[in-house]
Structure 1
């Protein structure tokens, strides 16, 4: 078990590289030699920080030579034994980001390579820097990438989570809060802490490799957070988004709650009037009329608006885009302008959005709760442009999450009749008005005029502000 000294991480034993000769009995050249043992390409910034020997998350260090996570640095600890058995000497503490030489148990600092590694584990930002994002960057191998527009590893069919994490990373007020408020890394609850760190890594201009893994965040959610039944490995992005938003709203951070409600949440007024039966004038039949005396209305806050597609055609006429039914987005969104009646069992309902958020999230309902929800989904093509007028507000399309069905593997003992879902996100780079599609590790340009040909499922529209 680690001692009290390890947990406190006192600065009293710190030494500079230049005076290592006196304090550690190693020459300056030996100190430089230790830095040469660092293998940056083997470091893992994205896995859960848990000791590979004790499975503890307390007082964990990263070996800067092989990348293993090991506990403690006092005599007999896994990190101490590792330094003796394989002669790996440099270890960085995962909470304080201080580097120590083992087995001497002395701190080493003031080295550029250590600063690079610290930034990899915990990126920090300034407001002037964030205002110029995204920017062209290069990884360790000299490969170019655009920060923020990078792929996330699909660890185990978690692409439905990946597209939502990228969506949240690009909602500017939330992004800026997570990048600039360092308290969210230290004082917030662990869910917000892990989410903040992941968003910071997505926007890092100094990535060692031009992709990021959400492993640490997803592992924490899987093992520490109670999840609703609707959330599982094959969840649709809508459920993932609502889960993350609700979890953030239940956090102790008031700034996050305020940012979400001011930028994503809107209000819809729902009016309901009962239908009653009355006899006709001839007395031989009845008719149904609205009983205005039963009319009532209520204001409901929403995170997204769900749009209903027209019913699927009874007979299919091929599978090309031209053969699929098509509908305009403007027609679907009329559901919330207060003029389109929804006929319920015993009443009529009208929905009218009375408060539009700066970021309007639209959900297009394609799946039902049948036996084969993916195979039997509604594939209606939704036509949309780059701008839309809604509730006397002009919006510009900002993000588009699309669905793609794939055939299941056929070498399984039990036949699977339903198809698999694959999710991608298309994001507009407002610096040059180009669209990029993020599909796992692949980043491709897309023509904005052809975005509607995909199976759109979720969209984010950004309110256009007039100068």
Structure 2
């Protein structure tokens, strides 16, 4: 073979190899990823569009991608999607856990806006893609990014008519809107035609979570707590120690607060399902929504856990929870000597300890039902002022341990902004739980000045409190139900809320209930809110 022929073949081989391995470069584009191939023969750039890699959950999808529509056609379809009228808003429900209905994964989940089901991914061979082909459903919403897509064509839908759906999934409040809730109220109309007051909506009882519902509903109406959690920026970047399981608790509680105060809901009730699941996980199954529980231990755990999470597991730091509910007291304790012995020695001297509290426990007198002539039973009654004498630094309360008896006096040294009173109605022993049905007579407003030292009361310009929430128990200890009386201060209206049932209530009816937990707002704070 001559030298000229050999050079000609080498040149042809180089051209073939150049065609097999074209030069590839990526041009930046905010909307559509583009791969540019340079043809070595024609020296022209050929643009070919491909699906985005971001939403693929199956690595094999990359091998199956094929060129799609042009950028101009994609943009036109994004703004003129022909499937928007197939969306069924009446069946959409974003209150449940955001996991794929098939794989049960919580990664890259999309909601089908036609049937309401959740599916993972949107690339070829993913569950959402398969659902769109088999069921002829085409509009999907990413539950994390809030972007909408049409499948299987896989283009983003840009349309203002989807904003109401996005707002139901993720309600956002401006600072002005948050502050306006203090003094203005709104009667809202849901998609199904029902009306509701903003902030007063029923909570679904999945099985036996009414004892959780009343606590959640009450806390959502405490002004500082409400305003803090309506602003997502206050808790979106919490840092916890590695391995902590508490992070979802704050996020789900914040979601619940925002949904409860959402003025654009599709229905007049919401489900606390995601919040309850977070409670089960974070409490290590101590509190379940399939078995009836006691609201007082749940309230104590929830307040402390929210504080723990908000402060990054540093208990001594301040949080909106402790700033709102925490008070201080001094406990004076002395040991009682055995019968016949004198109180001599160091062990019988009075000791004083300063401590903080999130709620005050009130002990009911252990009196049985009285009987009248004709054997008619009547229920005993006691004024709340009698129960509060426990904290006047005069009354000595007996406390027994397994080996000793102590007498304690409680002296309140700092009043909280919001005062929680827990009436101890249930007594549990080895065999059964007994309920004390005594009716507690209480006013809507009362003054705490007579229960604290004069030197302490001088620190406060106002020691008066107004009732904000009254949690009640009705029925037997094991088969009873919980409800709450809520005061919507902006409308000056009381409501009786029991799970999904919400009714207006006259103030004089509140004191007739078997009150269990009460939340009071300091009067000067209420006046500031109105101003």
Task: State the TM-score, normalized to the length of structure 2.
Answer: 0.75
C-alpha distance in 1 between matches for 2:345 and 2:438: 36
- Per-residue CA shift, 1:222-267, capped at 9, x if unaligned? 2465244799721111122112112212215469951111110111
Q: What residue in structure 2 maps to residue 54 of structure 1? A: 103
Unaligned runs of 5+ in 1: 9-18, 279-285, 407-417
Check if 1:356 corresponds to 2:426: no
Check if 1:124 corresponds to 2:172: yes
The Cα RMSD (Å) is 3.0
C-alpha distance in 1 between matches for 2:491 and 2:100: 45
C-alpha distance in 2 between matches for 1:165 and 1:356: 23
Check if 1:464 corresponds to 2:523: yes
Report SS of the residue matched to 1:80: helix
Question: Which of 353, 357, 371 is matched with 1:302 structurally?
Answer: 357
Q: What residue in structure 2 maps to residue 258 of structure 1? A: 319
Check if 1:383 corresponds to 2:438: no
Q: What residue in structure 1 maps to residue 127 of structure 2? A: 78
Q: Give the CA deviation at 1:146.
A: 0.3
The answer to whether the 8 Å contact 1:360/1:462 transfers is yes
The answer to whether the 8 Å contact 1:185/1:196 transfers is no
Q: Give the CA deviation at 1:187.
A: 5.4
Report SS of the residue matched to 1:74: coil
- Per-residue CA shift, 1:344-366, capped at 9, x if unaligned? 45432101111110000000000
C-alpha distance in 1 between matches for 2:271 and 2:338: 60
Report SS of the residue matched to 1:261: helix
Check if 1:395 corresponds to 2:444: no
Q: What residue in structure 1 maps to residue 256 of structure 2? A: 198
Q: What residue in structure 1 maps to residue 269 of structure 2? A: 211
- Per-residue CA shift, 1:322-377, capped at 9, x if unaligned? 8111100011011012111113454321011111100000000000113332xx30
C-alpha distance in 2 between matches for 1:366 and 1:191: 29
Report SS of the residue matched to 1:170: coil
Question: Which of 343, 349, 352 is matched with 2:398 structurally?
Answer: 343
Q: List, as ranges, runs of 4+ consecutive aligned residues in structure 1 with deviation greater than 6 Å.
A: 229-232, 290-293
- Per-residue CA shift, 1:48-67, capped at 9, x if unaligned? 00100101011100001000
The answer to whether the 8 Å contact 1:24/1:104 transfers is no
Cα separation, partners in 2 of 1:115 and 1:20, compared to 1, 3 Å? farther
C-alpha distance in 2 between matches for 1:170 and 1:380: 27
Q: What residue in structure 2 maps to residue 447 of structure 1? A: 506
The answer to whether the 8 Å contact 1:20/1:28 transfers is no
Cα separation, partners in 2 of 1:233 and 1:362, compared to 1, 3 Å? same
Q: What residue in structure 2 maps to residue 245 of structure 1? A: 303
Cα separation, partners in 2 of 1:185 and 1:36, compared to 1, 3 Å? farther
The answer to whether the 8 Å contact 1:147/1:205 transfers is yes
The answer to whether the 8 Å contact 2:292/2:478 transfers is no
Check if 1:167 corresponds to 2:214: no
Q: Give the CA deviation at 1:77.
A: 0.3
Cα separation, partners in 2 of 1:315 and 1:295, compared to 1, 3 Å? same
Cα separation, partners in 2 of 1:28 and 1:175, compared to 1, 3 Å? closer
Larger radius of gyration: 2
The answer to whether the 8 Å contact 2:207/2:289 transfers is no
When structure 1 is superposed on structure 2, of 250-259 and 395-404 the one drifting more is 250-259
Q: What residue in structure 2 maps to residue 139 of structure 1? A: 190
Check if 1:91 corresponds to 2:140: yes
C-alpha distance in 2 between matches for 1:242 and 1:231: 17
The answer to whether the 8 Å contact 2:396/2:407 transfers is yes
C-alpha distance in 1 between matches for 2:427 and 2:513: 19
Report SS of the residue matched to 1:84: helix
Report SS of the residue matched to 1:97: coil
Cα separation, partners in 2 of 1:372 and 1:275, compared to 1, 3 Å? closer
The answer to whether the 8 Å contact 2:78/2:155 transfers is no
C-alpha distance in 2 between matches for 1:139 and 1:287: 72
Report SS of the residue matched to 2:54: helix
The answer to whether the 8 Å contact 2:370/2:378 transfers is no
Cα separation, partners in 2 of 1:115 and 1:229, compared to 1, 3 Å? closer
